[in-house]
């Protein structure tokens, strides 16, 4: 058990569909703390750095197009086991495999437009938070 911080993105599909409040409500209801929060549109370079681990994947170009395609909300969320807690709230990557009550399970149908990003480890969280909030 440890206090952690994680980088969360409410992706452009979530912002477009009016789900900022819904996601923020779930974060707060879980008992986690929002330390930082900013609405911004990413440059391609920033998106490519954030998703660098996927650079060789066939969907990388589409992923960068999507994540730069409109404003998103970047948050730093802190609390007990915040990384795993936020991955639980988000649900599995493919919304057709996410638990029904999770954010992706409830609000998305497509893997490419799955509403939310959450860091997957303490190392990723540290790296990603530096990209968005240097």
Point out which residues bind ligand DAT (CB under 6 A).
Answer: 54, 59, 63, 93, 111-112, 114, 117, 120
Q: Is 54 labeled as catalytic in the residue annotation?
A: no
Cβ-based nearer residue to Mg ion, 1 or 56:
56
CB atoms within 10 A of CB 17: 14
**Active-site option among 72, 117, 125, 129:** 117
- Contacts by residues 82-87 (CB-CB < 8 Å, ≥ 24 positions apart): 82/3, 82/4, 82/5, 82/6, 82/32, 83/4, 83/6, 83/118, 83/119, 83/120, 83/121, 83/122, 83/125, 85/30, 85/32, 86/6, 86/8, 86/27, 86/32, 86/118, 86/119, 87/118, 87/120
The interface partner of residue 71, options being Mg ion, ligand DAT, none and the CB cut-off 5 to 8 Å by kind, is none
The interface partner of residue 59, options being Mg ion, ligand DAT, none and the CB cut-off 5 to 8 Å by kind, is ligand DAT
| List of E strands, 54-126 | 72-80, 116-118
**29 marked as binding residue:** no
Q: What is the closest distance, in whole angstroms, from the C-beta atom of residue 60 to ligand DAT in the complex?
A: 8
Residue numbers 103-132 binding Mg ion by CB under 5 A:
120
Contacts with Mg ion by CB under 5 A lie at 120
Query: Annotated catalytic sites, by residue?
Result: 117
Annotated binding site for ATP: 11, 59, 87, 93, 104, 114
Annotated binding site: 11, 59, 87, 93, 104, 114
């Amino acid at each position: 058990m440890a206090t952690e911080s994680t980088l969360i993105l409410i992706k452009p599909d979530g912002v477009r569909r009016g789900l900022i409040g819904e996601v923020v409500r779930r974060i707060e209801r879980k008992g986690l703390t929002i330390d930082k929060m900013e609405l911004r549109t990413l440059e391609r370079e920033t998106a490519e750095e954030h998703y660098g681990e996927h650079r060789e994947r066939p969907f990388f170009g589409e992923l960068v197009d999507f994540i730069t395609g409109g404003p998103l909300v970047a948050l730093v969320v802190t609390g007990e086991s915040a990384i795993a807690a936020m991955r639980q709230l988000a649900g599995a990557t493919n919304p057709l495999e996410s638990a029904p009550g999770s954010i992706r399970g409830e609000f998305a149908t497509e893997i490419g437009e799955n509403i939310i990003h959450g860091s997957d480890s303490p190392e990723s969280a540290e790296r990603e938070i530096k990209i968005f909030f240097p």
